[in-house]
Structure 1
Amino acid sequence: MTSAITETDLALNSRALPADRTTGPAAAVRVEQVTRIYAAGGQPVAALDGVDATFTRGTFTAVMGPSGSGKSTLLQTAAGLDRPTSGRVWVGDKELSRLSEAKLTRLRRSEIGFVFQNFNLVGALTVEENVTLPLRLSGVPVDRRWLKEVVERVGVGERLRHRPAELSGGQQQRVAIARALAMRPTVVFADEPTGALDSHTAAEVLALLRSIVDDQGQTIIMVTHDQLAASYADRVLVLADGRIISDSGVRA
């Protein structure tokens, strides 16, 4: 994902649906008949083609598929980083198409956590400052008890005064995960979170994500190309040509 995507402001053409259709209490995220069409070489290309999916609270979903399958586009539209061409998206009980850009930005800051492959930490800030950055941007006071719990759970409690350059890749990703949890989000979206890590460190980070789901009831939706990473999830969605071709659970 790039900053260009977050700044995209495209027209939304939602199809008519009954007004009483909601996510219900068990759904953290729902996408309904979502399409996303881009122009490529002057021709329309459907990155998503009528996708329906519900992501239950307290579950860990891996989204897989070959390059160009639509998996990253699904993450971007479900997270409110990009507008679908048609269809509707809910995060909790909020339908994203009804929100202005300002309200959508506020929702992303308060309801959605992000973990990226390249960490996206601010080099000039300490670990503590990076973790609390979403709170400060939203004008929310820092809950010191929650901060302590989060940084200790992800294993960076002893590194709060360090800067990213002083940390290993695995430690930086742990800081990014703590930052994603700082606002107590409805859902955490992870885009190839272990792609920049060695296999041992990747396994540690994936086990951490798994424990956050199991112990805290967090909802995680992770895009990955790695079958081993997907094995940590409760459910695997496989996309091809903008459609879900497989939806299966992988854990007992």
Structure 2
Amino acid sequence: MATHAVRLNAVTKTYGKGVHALRGVTVDLPRGDFTAIMGPSGSGKSTLLHCAAGLDTPTSGTVHIGGTELSRMNETQLTELRRDKAGFVFQAFNLIPALSVTENVLLPFRLAGTRPDHAWLDEVIGRVGLGGRTRHRPSELSGGQQQRVAIARALVTRPEVVFADEPTGALDTQTAAEVLTLLRQVVDATGQTVVMVTHDPVAASYADRVLFLAEGALVDDVYAAGPETIAQRVTALGSRRAVAC
């Protein structure tokens, strides 16, 4: 079994005529770690996440999720990989309004035509704190509760890695802290791997490691850093970009 959950090797992504979103990014993301990705606006954060998750195709370079190389896969195979080996949590909760909490969480199995492990389902729903709300629909839940449903849906298939793109962007400060604490607990208690894009230094401080991008290149990283240290790094990157412009 590969020691990394995700590996990118010399990954580039170019759009149109010379718009370089990623410039030769090489990085290993270990299993069981919580990694945050930060950088100034336009630095390539979301592009990196999308390429790592198989949602977008690099212009060059290779991406592995576990031992699987994504560039060798066709679209059908990529769809199956995203369904089986990746979980997704986005700023928009992406829940189905007509479905209950349990039905939303079980949606990956419904789409795949497979049967869930109900013991694990119960554990996941309990872990995210929704045991008393399994029959509620999204409109009956707060924003934080809806994001907890999304996290449960991401975890229920036991993915290799959970990709989170600004998961607290639509939440107030207290609710965001609750969701981030939940993600931290999932990593610590179950060995889950989480890769999160965020613009918020406080959110990034929940991670084991923070990667910093600037103009599509990986330029720095820190381990077990607090919000102030992270904010200083991001400010420095923004200042460097302003001088370069």
The TM-score with structure 2 as length reference comes to 0.91
Tell me how far apart the structure 1 counterparts of residues 172 and 28 of structure 2 sit (CA, whole Å).
32
Match in the other structure for 1:96: 70
Which structure shows the higher helix fraction? 2
Residue aligning to 1:27: 4
| Partner of residue 3, structure 1 | none
2:214 is aligned with 1:240: yes
**3-state SS of 2:18 partner:** strand
Paired with 1:115 and 1:81, the residues of 2 have a C-alpha distance of 13
Q: State the match for 1:135 in structure 2.
A: 109
- Alignment match, 1:203: 177
- 1:93 maps to a residue whose letter is G
Contact 1:36 1:86 (C-alpha < 8 Å) held by counterparts: yes
Deviation sequence 1:95-154 (CA, Å, 0-9, x none) = 000011101100000000000001110111110000000011112202110000000000
1:42-61 aligned within 5 A:
43-61=17-35
> In structure 2, which of residues 187, 190, 194 is the aligned counterpart of residue 220 of structure 1?
194
Q: Distance in 2 between matches of 1:234 and 1:127?
A: 30
**1:88–1:97 CA contact under 8 A, matched in 2:** yes
SS of alignment partner, residue 81 of structure 1 = coil
Counterpart check, 1:84 vs 2:64: no
- Aligned twin of 1:119: 93
2:156 aligned residue = 182
How many Å separate the matches in 2 of 1:144 and 1:51? 40
Structure 1 residues not aligned, in runs of 5+? 1-23
Deviation at 1:251, TM superposition (A): 5.5
Q: What residue number does 1:4 align with?
A: none
- Cross-structure match for 2:240: none
Paired-residue identity, %: 64
SS of equivalent residue, structure 2 residue 106: helix
Runs of 4+ in 1 over 4 A off after TM superposition: none
Q: Following the alignment from structure 1 to structure 2, what is the Cα–Cα distance between the partners of residues 26 and 151?
A: 28
Residue 234 of structure 2 is matched in structure 1 by none
Q: Within 1, Cα distance between the matches of 2:70 and 2:213?
A: 23
Q: How many matched pairs? A: 226
Say what the alpha-carbon RMSD is for the aligned residues: 1.0
Q: For 2:109 and 2:29, locate their aligned partners in 1 and report how far apart those are by CA, in whole Å.
A: 25
**Deviations 1:64-117, CA, capped at 9 Å, x for gaps:** 011110000000000000000000000010000001110110000000000000
Shift of 1:182: 1.0
- 8 Å CA contact retained: 1:31, 1:51: yes
TM-score for the superposition, normalised by structure 1: 0.88
Q: Contact 1:135/1:182 (CA < 8 Å) preserved in 2?
A: no
Determine helix, strand or coil for the equivalent of 1:171.
Answer: helix
| In 1: Cα distance, 2:221 partner to 2:166 partner | 19
Matched, 1:159 2:133: yes
Cα distance in 2 for partners of 1:142, 1:29 equals 25
